[in-house]
Amino acid sequence: MLDQRLVRETPERIVEQLGRRGLKLDLTALQMIACQERDLQEQRSNLQAEGNRVGRQVGELIRSGEPPHSPAVQVLRDQGNRLKQQVGVLEEEEKTLEARLHEQLLSFPNLPSPLCPEGRSEADNVIARSWGQPRRASDGEAPLQEHWQIAERLGLLDTERSVRIAQSRFVTLLGQGARLERALISFMLDIHGRRGYREVMPPILVNSASLTASGQLPKFADESFRCADDDLWLTPTAEVPITSLHRDELIPAEQLPLKYAAYTPCFRREAGSYGRDTRGLIRLHQFNKVELYWFCHPDESEAAHASLTADAEAVLQALDLPYRVLDLCTGDLGFSAARTFDLEVWLPGAGVYREISSCSTCGDFQARRSSIRLKEGKKTRLLHTLNGSGLAVGRTMAALLETGQQDDGSVLLPRALVPYFGTDRIGPES
């Protein structure tokens, strides 16, 4: 959430910076609400101070020998009661304005970092670097298959029965497919554990306050699945419960950074994506993901962003999966992000790079929504949060199937995964 002081004092900065995201705003009315709320706050504070002064006068009179029910004491007490009533009226007006201001601020995305490349859409994203040599079919070679073709041929998944169980865009993994998914989850968690992350397995049902704290609500309500009879939602990403792991807390600066790695199933409606990626593991309503999350000191967040991104890249490199890193332009940033590096893995069968991780620094945006502060000496301030996939498991499986496909129809797995899967090859099950 944006700082209310910016709305009051420099609304033109918000207009300019969110204009970089392609938004056109007029904050005149909102600035007026913010200023009125602050004025009421000051009036209330002054009246409370006056009331305290009158209260002290009453005490001093009584201690000096004045009878508690004397006219002089009663005049002061009447004055104190009038001040209390005025404070009560101002408090109600202040709460009303504060609620209006808070509700509107929740709908504004984060301000983009000055380091973000300018742009209006994904076409303006900048390729920062690439790793590995993408596999392509050579001349005279049969076309490489896409992952869903390989998976169906080897009996790794079943989509038709999944529709019967749930609906479209769900998948059931079978046999070696289920084992590969489990192996990848353990492999990713072990890599991140060695790199200093504390493993956490949070609830996958989250309340509205948690979704609001991370920036998912109110904007993305239509993208999420909600339980009908409870204030609970299926989590769209482990970023949501981990943000609220320290909600309303004061963290000593010497404990930072706090680094978490969490495996969770994730659930998204994928509204607006119908007709895209209708087969396979790329765009599902339910998918598994290992999430990386940092709570860090504001002075260290830029370096932390580079480190978190490198941690996600380490998984791809260990699996010998070629990829590239995109520096997202201002027009393609996610709601809570100030800057994002997307990792796109190469899919040889499809012949395209596809997103497999978004590594974002959010500045104090989520910390303000969540009231998470750090304590440094006698001072407190909002800390910074960062998150990224390390990685999306289904998309990793898709990349492994397409990259490792062999002429005999089997799939060769990378050496680092063999201890987790149990063998170096996936073939037809007998």
- Residues with a catalytic annotation lie at 268, 283, 355, 358, 395
| Closest-CA residue to 338 (of 309, 302, 389) | 302
The CA distance from 8 to 15, in Å, is: 13
Dihedral pair phi/psi, residue 361, rounded to 5°: -105, 135
Amino acid in position 308: L
Amino acid in position 400: L
Q: What CA dihedral angle connects 281, 284, 290 and 291, to 10 degrees?
A: 140
| Angle at alpha carbon of residue 338, lines to 332 and 339, rounded to 5° | 65
Are 318 and 131 within 8 A, CB to CB? no
What is the C-alpha R_g of the chain?
Answer: 28
The CA distance from 181 to 330, in Å, is: 34
The CA distance from 192 to 243, in Å, is: 18
Question: What would the DSSP string read from start to end of 18-47?
Answer: HHTTT-----HHHHHHHHHHHHHHHHHHHH
Question: What would the DSSP string read from start to end of 69-119?
Answer: TSHHHHHHHHHHHHHHHHHHHHHHHHHHHHHHHHHHHTTSPPPPPTTSPP-
DSSP 3-state assignment of 418? helix
